[in-house]
Amino acid sequence: MKPHSHSVQIRNVSKRYGSLEVLRQVSLDVEANTVTCILGPSGSGKSTLLRAINHLISIDSGVIRVSDEVIGYEQRDNRLFELSDRDLCRQRSHIGMVFQSFNLFPHLTVLENVTCGLITVRRAPKADAIATAQHFLDRVGLAHKAGAYPAQLSGGQQQRVAIARALAMQPRLILFDEPTSALDPELVGEVLTVIRELAESSDTTMIVVTHEIGFAREVADQIVFMDEGRVAVAGSVAEVFGSDSPRIRAFLDGNLK
Ligand SMILES: Nc1ncnc2c1ncn2[C@@H]1O[C@H](COP(=O)(O)OP(=O)(O)OP(=O)(O)O)[C@@H](O)[C@H]1O
C-alpha cells in the first residue's frame, strides 16, 4: 500500500540575505493530499519558501514540519543543529521537486534519468526501476521517448520527464518551482495538463509556485498570496479571488507582476 501523503506546517519562518528580508515570519498549513498554489509578485519570496520546505536553503528562524517531522534540523540540548547529509537525504527522498529548469542529466537517456534515483537512492533492482520508470513515462505521455537524450526533446517534454522522475520516487509531497516559467508559451499547456491530471488523480500533496493564475484557480484547494516576504492571504480559491485587498486585486488583474 502506498504511504499516506504528507501535511506541511510552517511556523514563523524568516530568512534574510544580507539586509534583504526575504521571508518574514511566514506561517502556513498545507493539508495532506491537497494542492496548494503559491502566487505573488516577483521577488515576494515564493521560491525561497518552497526551497526551504526541502531544506535546499536554510532558514534563519522558525520551523518547518513535514508530517510532524522537523525538516533540516534536529534538536539536541535545547539547540537546533542542521541534519547530517545522510538524514537530510532520507527526508528529501520522500519529497519530490520539479524545478523551473528541468535539471535532467544531459548524458543520460530519458529512461536512465527516471530510473537513476530509484536505483541509487531507493536501491531498487534494475528491472523494477525500469518497469516503474516506464509506467510514469507513460503517465506523462512520453513512453516512446525512453531512449532519447534530453537535448533531443522540447522544453515541455523535458519538463514532463522531470515530472515522471519525481513521480517515480513515489513522493508523499511534490514541490513545483515555477514549472512552466522557462517554457515557450506554446509548450506551457502540455505541462500544465500533466500537473492538472496529477492533481486530480494522485494522492500526493502538491505545492506549486506559479505565475499561471488561471491554472491555480482551476486546480488549487488552497491559494497562498505572498507579498514582500509575507503570506498576505491563504485561503480557498473563492476567498483569494474574492479578496478586496488592492494589492491582490492589482496582481490578479495583471497590474502587479
Ligand atoms: N541566494 C540569494 N542571494 C541573495 N538574494 C536572493 C537569493 N535568492 C533569492 N534572493 C532574493 O530574494 C528575493 C525573493 O526571491 P524569490 O526567488 O524567493 O522570489 P519569488 O517570489 O520566487 O520571485 P519570482 O516570481 O521572480 O521567481 C528576491 O529579491 C531575490 O532577489
ipTM of the complex: 0.96
Q: Among the atoms of ligand 1, which is closest to the Cα of residue 178?
A: 27
Phi, psi of 78 (to 5 degrees): 65, 15
**What pLDDT, in 10s, does the model give residues 195-252?**
999 888 878 999 999 999 999 999 999 999 999 999 999 999 999 999 999 999 999 9
pLDDT at 135 over 70: yes
Q: What confidence score (pLDDT) does residue 42 get? A: 94
Q: Calculate what percentage of the chain has a pLDDT beyond 70.
A: 99
CA of 1 to the centre of ligand 1 (A): 39
Q: What confidence score (pLDDT) does residue 240 get? A: 94
Task: Give the mean model confidence (pLDDT) for residues 181-194.
Answer: 91
Lowest mean pLDDT among 80-84, 126-130, 179-183, 203-207: 80-84
| pLDDT grade for 3, boundaries at 50, 70 and 90 | low
Q: What confidence score (pLDDT) does residue 19 get? A: 94
Q: Among the atoms of ligand 1, which is closest to the Cα of residue 181?
A: 27
| pLDDT grade for 76, boundaries at 50, 70 and 90 | confident
Q: What confidence score (pLDDT) does residue 1 get? A: 44
Ligand 1 mutation pick, 44, 59, 177, 256, max ligand atoms within 8 A of CB: 44
Task: Give the mean model confidence (pLDDT) for residues 136-153.
Answer: 96
What is the model's pTM? Answer: 0.94
Ligand 1 mutation pick, 15, 19, 20, max ligand atoms within 8 A of CB: 20
Ordered by where they begin, the domains of the chain are 8-256 (3.40.50.300)
Task: Give the mean model confidence (pLDDT) for residues 96-120.
Answer: 95
Determine which residue's CA is closest to atom 13 belonging to ligand 1: 43
pLDDT at 68 over 90: no
CA of 48 to the centre of ligand 1 (A): 6
CA of 110 to the centre of ligand 1 (A): 31
Q: What confidence score (pLDDT) does residue 5 get? A: 87
Output the ligand 1 site: residues, CB below 6 A.
Answer: 17, 20, 22, 40, 42-48
CA of 39 to the centre of ligand 1 (A): 14
